[in-house]
Amino acid sequence: MKIVPVSVTSQIVKILRHSVLTCELRPGDRLVESKLCENFEVSRPSLREALACLASEGLLIHRPNRGYQVAEITLEGFQNRCELRVVVEGANARIAAERATPQQVEALYAAAIVEAEDAKTLIEQNRQFHLEIAKATGNPELVEITRRVLDTDNQPYFYGVDLHACTTAKAITAEHRTIVDAVSANDGKLAEKRMVQHIREKEARIVAAWNHAS
Amino acid sequence: MKIVPVSVTSQIVKILRHSVLTCELRPGDRLVESKLCENFEVSRPSLREALACLASEGLLIHRPNRGYQVAEITLEGFQNRCELRVVVEGANARIAAERATPQQVEALYAAAIVEAEDAKTLIEQNRQFHLEIAKATGNPELVEITRRVLDTDNQPYFYGVDLHACTTAKAITAEHRTIVDAVSANDGKLAEKRMVQHIREKEARIVAAWNHAS
DNA sequence: TTGAACAAATTGTATGACAATCTGTCAAAA
DNA sequence: TTTTGACAGATTGTCATACAATTTGTTCAA
């Protein structure tokens, strides 16, 4: 394990990012600098650096003189992000199928499994799988973009909008497996198609629940 | 014209981003905080917020206790970014073809033109065209990702690696036009294919020149 | 030539301060 | 009753300053 110094700012970024993803901080919530400084016991400059990072990632939005708040979720925005996911992750699957090493395929099968009691862990497992696919492309740029997209796209779960996911964990695992199967068979076209469908189906479920809720 | 307050930090971000893209600040250059503060006449916290943003965008890299420097360019990294561009911008072209309004097509034809004496303007015009395609998708998420990718992918030009661009501005304009033609004809497949080829060819030219140079 | 030691430069982080801006309240005016 | 104005409190934007920790370059001894 390599020893690396860890800056205060980077730790805050991690914690806050996690808070947003798990909806501990919910869309629209304001982030009052003084409060956060107290909580984390850090200085305001350090905190603001972290906030600037997160805003740059799109997780927070910044309105001059009105500070930072968690980015609001809109149906339109959600669908736009899904489109982006389809584009990027579809390509991830295709490229992974073309390049993944046997070890990576092995890792993918392991990561495909989504099973947990609590929603939080479920989300995290799902997220890890999608990241693992990205890693299998061997292209760090794709990994980074994928991470970004996933980070701004998991919130709907916590809206209680996709609670069915808990009951369908097995189904999702199965879907993941079929994707990996295609990757394992070096069938790029098929892997892409399945990944796209996987994302589109989830989108449809959430959109339906969303409309139902409002 | 809407009135908006402009923070010091956001101005620094803009200036530094531009400096990096135009290679006024070259890959590997260190950004010494005290110097920059003097130049811009701003405080260190404000400057550091800006640096954090830019690092989060991938334009700068940050090594703990060793500060910020302009991200290095490697052939591998360049090719990885090209792959990302192919994925994202290819999709942009396809989606634009499916959705672009007549006005947007009009704007695309205008933006397709790349002609200028100096390399700097050429790059900027080219960049604008690619952004315009992204905008024609109507999906802000795609626009943002595209901006990011373009911002970290134009540097090789300034390495004198693609100076031919000056002589082939007309050729590039022609390529752009054929892409817009496909968009205008609502032929998504073709638009994507042409965009992909457009990027791949540029990649090939730069890779060749790169190998030649080293 | 190698290695230890030290000085200078730079970063990481914190504190305190103050002006500018926003927000909510409340009374005066229409 | 609704609108306007005014004001206090809260919060943000920005700066100046300080200091410990770390890196880096240099000198000197082995």
B-contacting residues in A 48-87 (Cβ below 8 Å): 48-50, 52-53, 55-58, 64-65, 77, 80-81, 83-84, 87
Higher confidence at residue A159 or residue A88? A88
- Map tokens 């200028």 to a residue: B116
Q: What percent of chain B has pLDDT over 70?
A: 93
Q: Which nucleotide is nearest to B68 (CA to C1')?
A: C11
Chain B residues with CB inside 8 Å of A95's CB? 83
pLDDT at res. A159: 59
Q: How far is A118 from chain B (nearest CA, A)?
A: 30
pLDDT at res. B164: 57
pLDDT at res. B104: 95
pLDDT, tens digit, 9 for 90 and up, residues B14-73: 999 999 988 899 999 999 999 999 999 999 999 999 999 999 999 999 999 999 999 988
Contacts of residue A95, Cβ cutoff 8 Å, sequence gap at least 6: A137, A139, A142, A188, B83
pTM of the entire predicted model: 0.91
Report residues 34-73 of B contacting strand C, contact meaning Cβ closer than 7 Å: 34, 44-45, 48, 62, 64-68
CA neighbor of B185 nearest in space, from B100, B125, B91 = B100
pLDDT, tens digit, 9 for 90 and up, residues A72-111: 888 999 999 999 999 999 999 999 999 999 999 999 999 9
For the segment B145-159, the average pLDDT, to the nearest whole number, is 81
Contact A27, A68 (CB under 8 A): no
Higher confidence at residue B154 or residue A198? A198
Q: A64 and B4 in contact by Cβ < 8 A?
A: yes
> Is B145 at the interface with chain A, CB within 8 A?
yes
A117 falls in which pLDDT band (50, 70, 90)? confident
pLDDT, tens digit, 9 for 90 and up, residues A176-195: 999 999 999 999 999 999 99
pLDDT at res. B169: 84
- Whether A133 has a pLDDT exceeding 60, the answer reads yes
Q: Which nucleotide is nearest to A63 (CA to C1')?
A: D12
B98 falls in which pLDDT band (50, 70, 90)? very high
Contacts of residue B198, Cβ cutoff 8 Å, sequence gap at least 6: B175, B176, B179
Q: A139 and B49 in contact by Cβ < 8 A?
A: no
> Is B42 at the interface with chain A, CB within 8 A?
no
Strand order across the beta sheet in which A30-31 lies? A30-31, A67-70, A60-63
Q: What percent of chain A has pLDDT over 70?
A: 92
- Whether A166 has a pLDDT exceeding 60, the answer reads no
**Nucleotides of chain C within 7 Å of a protein C-beta?**
10-17, 20-23
* Sign of torsion over alpha carbons B66, B69, B74, B78: positive
| B65: nearest CB among A5, A53, A139 | A5
Chain A residues with CB inside 8 Å of B140's CB? 80
Chain B residues with CB inside 8 Å of A140's CB? 80
Q: B139 and A83 in contact by Cβ < 8 A?
A: yes
Higher confidence at residue A34 or residue A2? A34
**Nucleotides of chain D within 7 Å of a protein C-beta?**
11-18, 21-24
pLDDT at res. A211: 82
B-contacting residues in A 102-121 (Cβ below 8 Å): none
pLDDT at res. A116: 79
Q: B83 and A142 in contact by Cβ < 8 A?
A: yes
Q: How far apart are CA A144 and CA A122, in angstroms?
A: 21
Overall residue count recorded for chain B in this entry: 214
Contact B59, B12 (CB under 8 A): no
> Is B5 at the interface with chain A, CB within 8 A?
yes
